[in-house]
Amino acid sequence: MMSQRKVALITGVTGQDGAYLSELLLSKGYQVHGVKRRSSSFNTGRIEHIYQDPHEDDPRFHLHYGDLTDATNLIRLVQHVQPTEIYNLAAQSHVQVSFESPEYTANADAIGTLRLLEAIRILGLEQTTRFYQASTSELYGLVQEVPQRETTPFYPRSPYGVAKLYAYWIVVNYREAYGMHASNGILFNHESPVRGETFVTRKITRAAAAIRLGRQERLYLGNLDARRDWGHARDYVRGMWMMLQQDEPDDYVLATGETTPVRHFVEWAFADVGITLRWHGEGVAEKGYCERSGDCRVEIDQRYFRPTEVDLLIGDPRKAKQKLGWAHETSVRELAREMVLADLDAMKTAPIAHHA
């Protein structure tokens, strides 16, 4: 039986999924404790709308400073919060950046997960605290089988994927060794209007909006032939919560079952702001997408290619459907439109930054 107390601790609360999950859990009556990193500037933009002043009567949303690279901090936080559920969403989550900072990525994403599990064990909370691990379709990497499902062999293709592989298995090991209710959600790509600006979907939707408004000339991208199974973050955080409500812990794929090449996402996003692009392919000096007027809007830049790429992701969510009753609601086409319209709206008033 689940305890009546509903107290969640979310690492990575300032990220895309942390924001959606906090909203969901607050709507379900949870006390939500989020772990945020110290930063020299505000990093709470995604959770502004649910922020509660600690001076208010009986706040239900609490923020604490912390870091997955700091074990004593994690032990103290878990001891203080005594969570019934922990959602470990914190990570250096950018695949390309993981090639630049592999050691930090391993520290935060792999050993960080171990630190959190050890905090639970040291405090003797193995039987009271349920644990969700943000595992990823990047575990599949080099294609072994399609669609990818829970039993598909892993073959990660980046320091990020390899770090997440350790995290996946340490969660399985702690479940088996200590009887913990610890589950891996193997989530395929999920996006939203608050997706980090350097992930490809958001980079594209922001650029389409900025080009439409005459505030940017061109968009530079890498591999347009990679294919991803993209869903909406709102649907995916619902699946995370469902996993922790099961009597038994387990590992589940969350995906839409549909795959889309990056180039289609580009075409959709520009079409949604009224710009029709045509591909200028091999043999043309400049490769990329241009308008009928001759203005070229999207160009290929080698710097955005990865040393090793994940070419094709398409997930099989049947287990999650059968056991959790989970299914995605938003299609990738709807998602692209929602993102680009949100960027268009925001950009009409705000300045833009170019760091993608």
Active site residues: 136, 138, 160
Site string for ligand NDP, 54-73 (x = CB under 6 A): -------------xxx----
- Choose among ligand NDP, ligand GDR, none what residue 132 binds, the Cβ cut-off being 5 to 8 Å by kind: none
Nearer to ligand NDP, 249 or 315 (CB): 315
Place of tokens 């997955």: 68
Q: 108-137: which residues touch ligand GDR (CB under 6 A)?
A: 136-137
Select from ligand NDP, ligand GDR, none the partner in contact with residue 223, using the beta carbon and a kind-dependent cut-off of 5 to 8 Å.
Answer: ligand GDR
User: Which letter does DSSP use for residue 148 in this model?
Assistant: B
Which among ligand GDR, ligand NDP, none contacts residue 205 (Cβ within 5 to 8 A by kind)? none
Q: Which residues contact 151 (CB under 8 A, 6 or more apart)?
A: none
Does 11 sit near ligand GDR (CB under 6 A)? no
In 3D space, the residue among 190, 187, 188, 173 whose CA is nearest the CA of residue 232 turns out to be 190
User: Residue 328: CB partners within 8 Å, gap ≥ 6?
Assistant: 231, 232, 235, 236, 254, 255, 256, 317
205 scored as a contact of ligand NDP (CB under 6 A): no
Q: Within a 13 Å sphere around the CA of 43, how many CA atoms are in the beta-carbon half?
A: 18
User: How many other C-beta atoms can be found within 10 angstroms of the C-beta atom of residue 17?
Assistant: 26
DSSP string, 13-37: TTSHHHHHHHHHHHHTT-EEEEEE-
Q: By CB under 6 A, which span of 10-18, 56-64, 142-150, 311-319 interacts with ligand NDP?
A: 10-18
Q: Is 259 in the site for ligand NDP (CB under 6 A)?
A: no
Q: Minimum CB separation from ligand GDR for residue 219, in Å?
A: 8
According to the binding rule CB under 6 A, does residue 328 interact with ligand GDR? Answer: no
Q: Does 228 bind ligand GDR (CB under 6 A)?
A: yes
Q: Which does 203 bind (CB under 5 to 8 A by kind): ligand NDP, ligand GDR, none?
A: ligand GDR
* Residue the block writes with tokens 């079409």: 271
Cα dist from 344 to 200, 211, 337, whole Å: 17, 10, 10
What beta strand segments (E) does 205-258 contain? 219-221, 227-228, 231-232, 251-254
Min dist. Cβ of residue 264 to ligand NDP (A): 18
Token pair 């089988």 in the structure block, residue: 145
Contacting residue, 11, 84, 129, 189, with ligand GDR by CB under 6 A: 189
Q: What six digits make up the tokens of 167? A: 């995290």
Chain residues in the site for ligand GDR (CB under 6 A)? 93, 95-96, 136-138, 188-189, 198-200, 203, 221-223, 226, 228, 262, 304, 306, 309
Chain residues in the site for ligand NDP (CB under 6 A)? 11-12, 14-18, 37, 39, 43, 67-69, 89-93, 108, 134, 136, 187, 189-190, 196
